[in-house]
Amino acid sequence: MEHPFAATEKESERLLDLEEVAKLLGGVSTRSVRRLIARGDLPRPVKVLSSPRLYFSDVLDYFERLKVRRDDAQKRRLP
């Protein structure tokens, strides 16, 4: 079964508006997306006609970092 966020190289370079990013992150608010950007968890967006956009690949990278953090925390808890 293919990963739900699996993307071809072309798809990974697709630009997403903050609303699309918010939906991918589980329906959080766009304000939460902006907070993640401000904290450095997500990269600074590129501007397209003054509208902030993130690359799909950047969102995928964020998910991977979350998984690594989770896995590392689980390893530390194991006896």
pLDDT surpassing 60 at residue 4: no
pLDDT digits over 5-59, tens only?
Answer: 566 667 778 999 999 999 999 999 999 999 999 999 999 999 999 999 999 999 9
Contact at 8 Å (CB) between 56 and 16? yes
The answer to whether residue 44 sits within a structural domain is yes
The answer to whether residue 1 sits within a structural domain is no
Across the beta sheet with 46-48, the strand order is 15-17, 51-55, 46-48
The pLDDT value given to residue 75: 78
**Residue 28 gets which letter from DSSP?**
-
Tell the burial category of 20 from Cβ atoms under 10 Å away from its Cβ (0-12, 13-18, 19+).
middle
Q: What is the CATH number of the domain that holds 40?
A: 1.10.1660.10
**Residue 44 gets which letter from DSSP?**
P
Q: How confident is the model at residue 1 (pLDDT cuts 50, 70, 90)?
A: very low
Q: Which residue range is the domain that position 22 belongs to?
A: 9-77
The pLDDT value given to residue 9: 67
